[in-house]
Amino acid sequence: MITTLQWVTFTVCAAVTIARLPSALRRQNRALFYVFALLTVAILLSIEAPYLAIDRALGGVNVANLLLRFIIFGAIFFVGVKITKGFGATREYGLLTGKPGIAALAICSAAVIVTFVMMDTRGSSAGLAQLSNQDDPHAALLEYYGAAGRLYPSYVSLILVPAMVRAVRSRLPWLVRLGAFLLCIGSVAIVLTLSFPFMPPELGYTQFIINYTAILCFVIGLAVIWFAKLHAARQRGKKSFTKK
Amino acid sequence: MPLPAKAFQRWLQGIAPDTSAADVCRVSGIKRTTLAQQMVRGKVAESTVVAISRAFGANPVAALSTFEAYNALAGPPTVPSVDELVSQISTTDLLRAVLARSATEPDGIPTGIPPLEPAPHGTSVKNWVDAIDDGELRHRVAAATGIAPQNYSAQLTANRLTPELALATAEAAGASPATGLVASGLITEIEAGWHPDARRAALNSMSDARLVALAGERLQALGRTLRRQEQDQEQTDMIWENLG
């Protein structure tokens, strides 16, 4: 069930990335293409089989997981920048690209790297699941590593939520508002990942659902906004033909 | 308030006895599926009754008045006030009148004025409500019908008014109910019992000062609408630029 969810998410994400390729080649909004591509790679790295293959090629010490963290940081940073800019959320844009945003990114990156280096990470394992069986100091480090990896995306998402709520309630075209609504759900889901350490282990599958809901909502939300643009362009074309 | 299917059927029997539903639809230009759906739901739209009455040569206002919810329309047509009549003249026509009056004509009767555009015009709903509003009308309509004031205002701004609300508005203002149906475009001014030249006469009876002041108000409102549209467009363009 979870593997299916993972591959479905991967397929959706890869499809959007490929669909985005022509406009990227035309130099239209390349950042968006990179975001989709990064997210596709991120999903690939969170699925067991490809993760093991890639990580073993990288030396089998779970460097691929560290890579995954930074891919997510990069993707969420660019998504946040583009969304706040697009929706005219100047204050939120400042919180991302200004001193607090850069500080948050630096602190989280440092924490991820330091905890990773301190951990004994031998033995490829997707999501570092197998490493959690280790003795106390390492288990604690693993918790900190995971928390640091979730903190920065949550910081960005927390900033996005109010901007998206404003967009949903605005007079923008309804497709754009639908996209903003999906982005809002995705942001809330990412903020919820902060609660993972406090979740009982039996609820492990909800963590998966929250993670993939977040990614799917972001990818589909952005795709809907893109579709809204194409739709609006077509409508404008129609109007000018019939009315003028 | 849509009309109950039973009452509609009774009325249809009276106006078009021995005519099949298919023929009724064909003559009145209503889609068969639309009528069938309205009958199944037990809610027949007012516009259906209007279209059928027109097709069978009956007065739509008289037809509507036979339904309980529209009893207020019964009886001889009430003559709307000058303000109401002028509210149904388009801004373009008002501006034409201003220009015509400022041109010096020897006999005072300007020549070559094109006939007024038929009601309704682009802002006729809001202009009608403004014409009969004593300052508390919106509150009274909201209280009488239970509609949220912001939803009512949104309808007026979008130049839409359901027949039910049109009647409630007229009642709350003590105005002629048929005028609301003219303003919302359900019926024509002739069908409402207005003299064909009623609007022109009302316009001519306005003093220069009143006419110019009214045209100015309309222009200001138009300016506000256009500014809002342009702002919305700017915002949407910004989204397309960053996320499209």
The complex's ipTM? Answer: 0.80
What's the pLDDT band for A242 if we cut at 50, 70, 90?
very low
Tell whether B244 lies on the interface with A, counting CB pairs under 8 A. Answer: yes
Residues of B in contact with A29 (CB under 8 A): 241-244
Q: Which residues of A touch B239 (CB under 8 A)?
A: 86-87, 172, 176, 225, 229
AA letter at A238: K
Domain range annotation of chain B: 3-73, 82-208
* CB spacing of B235 vs A226 below 8 angstroms: no
Report CA Rg, chain A: 19
The 10s digit of each residue's pLDDT in B88-118 is 999 999 998 988 888 765 555 555 667 888 8
Q: Is the minimum CB–CB distance between A169 and chain B shorter than 8 Å?
A: no
| pLDDT of B109 | 57
User: Chain A within 8 Å of B207 (Cβ-Cβ)?
Assistant: no
Contact list in B for residue A173 (CB cut-off 8 A) is 236
CB of A51 within 8 Å of any CB in chain B?
no
Please tell me the predicted confidence (pLDDT) of residue B100.
87
Query: Measured between CB atoms, which of B236, B238, B243 is closest to A32?
Result: B243
pLDDT single digits (tens) A56-73? 898 888 899 999 999 999
Q: Which CATH fold topology does B3-73 show?
A: 434 Repressor (Amino-terminal Domain) (1.10.260)
Residue contact B236–A173, C-beta within 8 A: yes
Q: What is the pLDDT of residues B192-212, one digit of tens each?
A: 888 888 889 999 999 999 999
Residue among A86, A91, A83, A92 at smallest CA distance from A159: A92
**Tell me, what's the pLDDT at A244?**
29
Of A82-86, A196-200, A216-220, B50-54, the range with the lowest mean pLDDT is A196-200
Query: Cα B229 to chain center, whole Å?
Result: 23
Owner of token pair 């959320």: A89
Give DSSP secondary structure letters for chain B: -PEEHHHHHHHHHHHSTT--HHHHHHHHT--HHHHHHHHHHTEE-HHHHHHHHHHTT--HHHHHHTSGGGGGG-SSPPPPPHHHHHHTS-HHHHHHHHHHHHS--TTS----PPPPPPSP-TTHHHHHHHHH--SSHHHHHHHHH---HHHHHHHHHTT---HHHHHHHHHHHT--HHHHHHHTTSS-TTTTT--TTHHHHHHHHS-HHHHHHHHHHHHHHHHHHHHHHHHHHHHHHHHHHHH-
Min distance B116 CA to chain A CA atoms (Å): 22
* DSSP H or E stretch at residue A134: none
Instruction: Give residue A198's pLDDT band: very low, low, confident or very high (50, 70, 90).
Output: confident
Nearest Cβ partner for B243 among A170, A173, A222:
A222
Pull the structure tokens for residue A134.
Answer: 């280790």
**Interchain CB contact of A166 with B (< 8 Å):** no
